[in-house]
Copies of this chain bind each other. A is one copy, B any other.
Amino acid sequence: MAQKPSIPKGTRDFNPQDVAKRNYIFSTIKQQFELFGFQPIETPSFENSSTLMGKYGEEGDRLIFKILNSGDYLKKVDENLYASKDASKLTSKISEKALRYDLTVPFARFVVQHQNDIDFPFKRYQIQPVWRADRPQKGRFREFYQCDADVVGSDSLWQEVEFVQLYDAVFTKLGLSGVTIKINNRKILSGIAEVIGAKDKLIDFTVALDKLDKIGEENVKAEMLEKGIPQSGIDKLQPLFSLSGDFGSQVTELKTILKASEEGTLGIEELEFINTGIEALGLNTAQLQLDVTLARGLNYYTGAIFEVAAPEGVAMGSIGGGGRYDDLTGIFGLKDMSGVGISFGLDRIALVLEELNLYPETVSDSVKVLFINFGEQEALASMKAIKELRANGVRAELFPDKKNTKKQFNYANKRNIPFVVLLGDSELQSNTYTLKHMSSGEQSQVDLNGLISAVQ
């Protein structure tokens, strides 16, 4: 019986125009990744569950898609466990594989597994889909691409400088001028927490501080107080709320606040190194901005923290982010492997390019020349010309059926095919082609060479 076809919620079909636009973004990013010396790797879509589970917190574990074992997967399940009908206990018995939840953990697994074949520092990029059983909503999908570049095996701060430049290069190439690359440092956040007497409340502190943009200064302070951060400490934060001026003067103010903290001071030195490098090298269209409220995946990052905001006036969350982590591969037994990486938020970048109308006009061009089908003999002659066009790099095709000409022209119109060739009886005899330029309506009589050069 016929089914009404649909796809699972949170997933998408991409038609040719969608794919063309997405490929445009991917290839722009890939080109810059490669200019910067990154090389692609790919990992399997599913990993052993033990590789993924426990790496993303409880919430993450829940959101990982699990794959049912093949065959009679109940056979070996213990009777008592089965009788309890407890899904949380049953899962690990009937499912040993799970879909990739991000690219970071598989990358760590890859590095550890192949460490003897890798020449460190290892600069890899990876553009692959990931899957999350999240509640779907606008801009949030259950299947989406991640697009990451990381370096592992070097703690040089030049990498951070490189990543700021890389963000600038990609967004410049995409025509997206005016993005803000926000930077912070985990050590600065730790230092501030230390200085205000909230070292043991680092998470509460940064979670509250992270909300400054959304809920304002007074509410942030109230939340901190509620979480048990002393009023005296909160008072010391005051200069943070009024950091102003350029990068340099903000850093100077921060230095004053953090002079009592060794870790905080180290964080500032790192920040200064990166900023000095960027000032010397220059950015094309992006700007680098200090944002001491930036926390992101704090538990994860140990040094620099990055986040990219779309140009002012575009209502969109972050379109990229990343940072330095000192122990990514530790979970798989390889210690002391510092890494730093960034990612690009493909779906949001696509929305921004759409909103600002930044896709090149030619992005979803498909076929350039359609030959009208007048019947068998004409079609064969058309196919010969089409073969020549293709050999010259021109996308060309024959309308496959001898339908009435109007229908064939309609097809060309709908598909935005710019040129139509009529090769009928008279053209066959004169060995010429009637070439119609669809947008202008102009027609001309050309020979094969004329045809090739006219459409190229």
Contact = CB atoms under 8 A, between A and B. Distances in A.
Interface stretch (A119-127, A218-226, A296-304, A434-442): A119-127
Nearest to A330: B2
Contact of A113 (B11, B13, B96): B13
Contacts of A124: 16
Contact of A43 (B6, B7, B87, B367): B7
Stoichiometry (number of copies): 2
Interface stretch (A59-67, A199-207, A287-295): A59-67
A66 B6 CA distance: 17
6 contacts: A6-B113, A11-B44, A13-B114, A39-B366, A158-B398, A159-B400
A356 interface: no
A109 interface: yes
A452 B249 CA distance: 38
A48 to B, nearest CB: 6
A113 B281 contact: no
Q: Please list the 10 inter-chain residue pairs (A to B) with the smallest Cβ-Cβ separation, ordered nearest first.
A: A2-B333, A11-B44, A37-B397, A16-B39, A156-B400, A70-B133, A14-B42, A154-B400, A19-B40, A66-B68
Interface of A: 2-8, 11-16, 18-20, 23, 34-37, 39-48, 50-51, 62-63, 65-68, 70-75, 77, 82, 85-88, 90-91, 94-97, 99, 109-110, 112-114, 117, 119, 121, 123-124, 129, 131, 133, 143, 151, 154-156, 158-159, 161-162, 165, 169, 277, 280-281, 330-333, 366-367, 373, 379-380, 383-384, 387, 390, 393-398, 400-401, 411, 414-415
A357 to B, nearest CB: 22
Nearest to A369: B37
A379 B34 CA distance: 20
Given A12-B44, A45-B99, 9 more contacts: A3-B51, A3-B333, A5-B112, A5-B332, A6-B48, A37-B366, A62-B70, A67-B99, A123-B397
A44 to B, nearest CB: 4
B7 A48 contact: yes
A13 B43 contact: yes
B40 A20 contact: yes
A44 B395 contact: no
Contacts of A397: 36-37, 123, 162
Contact of A277 (B90, B94, B121, B380): B380
A383 B40 contact: no
Nearest to A415: B119
A364 to B, nearest CB: 9
Nearest to A399: B121
Given A34-B395, A383-B158, A415-B119, A8 B91 contact: no
Contacts of A41: 13-16, 19
Contacts of A398: 158, 162
Given A68-B91, A75-B87, A87-B72, A45 B154 contact: no
B158 A46 contact: no
Contacts of A19: 39-42
Max chain B CB contacts within 10 Å: which of A87, A154, A277, A380?
Answer: A87
A394 B37 CA distance: 10
A67 B66 contact: yes
Nearest to A334: B2
Contacts of A65: 46, 67-68, 70
A180 to B, nearest CB: 21
Contact of A411 (B119, B133, B332): B119
A400 B151 contact: yes
Contacts of A40: 16, 19-20, 23
Contacts of A415: 119
A450 B52 CA distance: 50
Nearest to A135: B70
A68 B48 contact: no
A386 to B, nearest CB: 9
Max chain B CB contacts within 10 Å: which of A13, A44, A367, A415?
Answer: A44
Contact of A11 (B46, B119, B169): B46
B390 A35 contact: yes
Contact of A74 (B36, B87, B159): B87
